[in-house]
Structure 1
Amino acid sequence: MKNLPQSEATLLIRTDFSDEAAWQDLRTVVTTPSDEDDDFLAMLHIVDDPAYRDLTTEQIVALAPAEDDLLIVADEKALTGSEMPLLAVCMSDEDDDEGAGEDAGEDSDSKPGFDELRVVATELWSIENNISLANMDWEEFVDAAEEDGVFRGF
């Protein structure tokens, strides 16, 4: 399996290829500026390659460039849910004691840990902009997620 590309922008990796129309709809949403006065937009490098079909989060993390702090995954849930709940994956070093990485399991030996959070497509810009610029901490988004574990904005 080939490694994910390096990019200045946050990677959005498509892993579900079952519905091309749903994928195009999702792409339109995440590449359209917010409807707020400032027109915020997630800075994304879209990876639309069937080589990454059905990969797990662990496999994606293993293929990601080491310097990436945030990955976005367009999986089956994102392409079938009415709110297009993308999977945001926050990378952390193994020795990170902030709590990120807890979901990575105990066999993450020499690989970075990670934490996951669903984010509706219309709010992706908020997480991507603020995490990429280090304006906010990951935990602020986790804490703002609703009971179902989906971040829908502040």
Structure 2
Amino acid sequence: MPMRLPQPDNLTSLVLRTHFGDEVAWDALRSAIDGATFVSDRRFAGAEVRALVDAAAAAEEHERFNHLFIADATAMADPVHPLLIVDLWVEPGRTFRVPARWFFDVSANLGLANMYFEEYAEAADASGTFRGFGPH
């Protein structure tokens, strides 16, 4: 049976945990972010982007959403918690990172369609991390 993605609550963005090696880091990440649906389910341990994109594509139309934030090993190890955000709609599988500090801005603007995924992805620095608009 194909993997099914959980659904975000209301209009919040989904933060899916794929790394389970550090409970303290997971708690710190959740404390750093407001307005998200957090999912910590071990069946997603180590899940790859492609598998998550495929699961999103296989969902019923009313269950689909545009993007997904992933709390992977990189997000857990770095104190700024650079979540991996994945486009599930226009360019499925396209990614960039967003530190917890920028989560609300990115999540809200994508959720309201004030901005598009590619605008943030193109504003990411050389490491693939969005750190706000303007000089980094």
TM-score by length of 1: 0.74
Separation (CA, whole Å) in 1 of partners of 2:3 and 2:94: 23
Matching residue's letter, 1:54: G
1:11-26 paired onto structure 2 within 5 Å: 11-26=14-29
Deviation digits for residues 76-131 of structure 1 (CA, Å, limit 9, x no counterpart): 000001321100011225xxxxxx2xxxxxxxxxxxx2310110111011111101
Structure index of larger Rg: 1
Matching residue's letter, 2:87: C
Give the aligned CA root-mean-square deviation in angstroms.
Answer: 1.6
Gaps of 5+ in 1: 32-42, 94-99, 101-112
Separation (CA, whole Å) in 1 of partners of 2:126 and 2:15: 25
Q: What's the offset of the Cα at 1:148? A: 1.2
What is the percentage of aligned positions where both structures have the same residue?
Answer: 34
TM-score by length of 2: 0.83
Gaps of 5+ in 2: none
Contact 2:49 2:93 in 1 (8 A): no
Alignment pair present for 1:145 and 2:109: no
Structure number having the greater helix percentage: 2
Alignment pair present for 1:124 and 2:125: no
The aligned length equals 125
